[in-house]
């Protein structure tokens, strides 16, 4: 291999691997110096000049002129007689610079140079790929199915980088054939056999969250915030959203007119049923919304143990629990509370608070409404101290309201 052939080879690497000029020069110089060190034990007295744009490569060796017969290191020293053959004016102690052709290094050294250059360029390329996908962790990328195996699917991006979508990270209803375009989220990047190993997922909660960011402009623009995602991949999901702009309905923006925005997401997730919930800091109201479509009659919240007992009418129990317990499971994940469903047994019928407007001041009623308490039973099922905390009403007001409401159910209470 001569200088020209090496430069042609390097040019191919430059375009195939997309290596920038500075790194290309660094890789080539280090590869050549590695060969020189193996052959001469040192490369410090060599100058390597490489211009990839013009295709120039020059190797120069610097040696000190010593008296004839006094050479101790032929790599760093040259006899005076030999120096004068190069230029008659050289004297002892001066430095002689000679151009070195690749062929003069020998066949083994040239072969070693090629191997070293290949290894360093592949190492550079693999490091670049690793760093690229390391920064993409948590992002959705578009890929194409390249090969289907029993435990995973191998996919490629536009730059032909190979990634893996394991069976365990696929939606249960996913079915792929070679050439299928798919969207997946970069879950993690590892080193395997000295190569970057990129693992994708479509099963992670983050995949649903990122899909919403891609499909809902108000989320990508920061007008709507995703507070929490709970998901059973391919079956059911709940996502709570919040808007800091009162003019924007976060749920309506996510669902779209006649479901125009949510339907593409549902199709992407293989008909996963998605409930979009309006987030609120009012815990009782948040839990009530999370159990949709079930209607909650009342609840007891134990904030210390993160437990909540929820009471619903008999016909609402199946809705609250959901198919295979999916609804209650997702509601628990969404709120962070362990939810227990009970039949609403203390009273056969409930009464709306509005029915007591002639006995209870409208401002007091509004305080209960803001706390998510809209019926008599929902209030009676709470302890006095809890009601003070969530309504910010005085104790004597709470006691008076409870007294009024209990009179409505005196007959039923006596039966219990």
Give residue-wise pLDDT tens across range 139-180. Answer: 999 999 999 999 999 999 998 899 999 999 999 999 999 999
Mean pLDDT of 292-317: 87
pLDDT digits 0-9 by tens, 256-289? 998 999 999 999 999 999 999 999 999 989 999 9
HSE of 42, CA atoms in CB hemisphere, 13 A: 11
CA separation for the pair 145, 248 (Å, rounded):
39
274 DSSP β-pair partners: 237
Domain edge (last residue) among 132, 151, 183? 132
More confident residue, 147 or 410: 147
Judgement on whether residues 95 and 187 belong to the same structural domain of the protein:
no
Burial class (CB in 10 A: 0-12, 13-18, 19+), 78: buried
Is the model more confident about 48 or about 106?
A: 48
pLDDT digits over 339-359, tens only?
A: 999 877 555 567 888 888 888
Q: Same domain, yes or no, for 245 and 271?
A: yes
- Residue 246, in any domain of the structure: yes
Counting the structural domains of the chain, the total is: 4
What integer pLDDT is reported at residue 53 of this predicted model?
Answer: 66
Residues 6+ apart with CB under 8 A from 350: 297, 344, 375, 376, 377, 378
Q: What is the pLDDT averaged over residues 323-344?
A: 92
- Which of 279, 307, 326 is where one domain is finished? 279
CB 310 within 8 A of CB 339: yes
Question: Between 239 and 246, where is the model more confident?
Answer: 239
CB 79 within 8 A of CB 86: no
**382 falls within a domain:** yes
Same domain, 7 and 62: yes
The pTM assigned to this predicted structure is 0.68
Q: Report the pLDDT value the prediction gives residue 11, as an integer from 0 to 100.
A: 56
Residue 347 counted as domain residue? no
CATH code for the domain of 104: 3.30.1480
| Token pair listed for 212 | 């919403």
For 386-404, what is the mean pLDDT?
A: 88
Query: Cβ(196)–Cβ(249) under 8 Å?
Result: no
Region 68-86: mean pLDDT is: 87
In a domain, 292, yes or no: no
Tokens of 370: 């803001």
Average pLDDT over residues 369-390: 82
Q: Are 115 and 230 within one domain?
A: no
The domain boundary residue, chosen from 184, 203, 222:
203
Stretch 230-236: mean pLDDT: 94
Percent of the chain residues topping a pLDDT of 70: 92
Domain that holds residue 382: 353-415
CATH of residue 192's domain is 2.40.50.140
- Give the pLDDT mean for 387-412: 83
């Amino acid at each position: 291999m001569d200088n020209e052939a090496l430069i042609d080879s390097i040019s191919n690497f430059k375009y195939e691997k997309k290596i920038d000029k500075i790194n290309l020069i660094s890789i080539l110089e280090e590869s050549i110096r590695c060969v020189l060190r193996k052959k001469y034990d040192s490369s410090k007295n060599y100058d390597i000049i490489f211009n990839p744009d013009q295709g120039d490569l020059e190797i120069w060796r610097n040696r000190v002129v010593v008296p004839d017969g006094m050479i101790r290191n032929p790599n760093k020293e040259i006899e005076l007689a030999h120096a004068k053959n190069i230029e008659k004016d050289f004297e002892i102690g001066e430095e002689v610079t000679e151009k070195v052709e690749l062929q003069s290094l020998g066949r083994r050294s040239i072969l070693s140079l090629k191997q070293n250059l290949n290894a360093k360029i592949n190492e550079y390329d693999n490091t670049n790929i690793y760093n690229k996908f390391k920064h993409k962790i948590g992002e959705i990328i578009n890929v194409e199915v390249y090969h289907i195996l029993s435990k995973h699917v191998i996919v490629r991006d536009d730059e032909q980088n190979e990634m893996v979508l394991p069976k365990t990270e696929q939606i249960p209803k996913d079915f792929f054939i070679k050439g299928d375009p798919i969207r997946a989220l970069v879950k993690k990047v590892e080193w395997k056999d000295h190569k970057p190993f990129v693992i994708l997922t479509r099963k992670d909660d983050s995949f649903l969250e990122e899909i919403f960011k891609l499909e809902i402009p108000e989320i990508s623009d920061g007008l709507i915030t995703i507070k929490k995602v709970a998901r059973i991949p391919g079956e059911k999901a709940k996502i709570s959203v919040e808007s800091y702009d009162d003019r924007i309905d976060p749920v309506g923006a996510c669902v779209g007119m006649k479901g125009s925005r949510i339907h593409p997401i549902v199709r992407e997730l293989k008909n996963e049923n998605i409930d979009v919930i309006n987030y609120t800091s009012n815990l009782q109201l948040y839990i009530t919304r999370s159990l949709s479509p079930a209607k909650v009659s009342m609840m007891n919240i134990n904030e210390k143990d993160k437990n909540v007992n929820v009471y619903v009418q008999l016909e609402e129990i199946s809705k609250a629990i959901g198919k295979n317990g999916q609804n209650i499971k997702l509601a628990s994940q969404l709120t962070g509370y362990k939810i227990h469903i009970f039949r609403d047994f203390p009273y056969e019928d409930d009464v709306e608070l509005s029915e007591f407007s002639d006995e209870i001041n409208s401002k007091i009623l509004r305080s209960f409404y803001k706390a998510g308490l809209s019926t008599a039973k929902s209030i009676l099922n709470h302890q006095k101290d809890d009601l003070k905390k969530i309504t910010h009403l005085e104790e004597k007001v709470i006691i008076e309201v409870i007294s009024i409401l209990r009179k409505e159910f005196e007959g039923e209470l006596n039966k219990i």
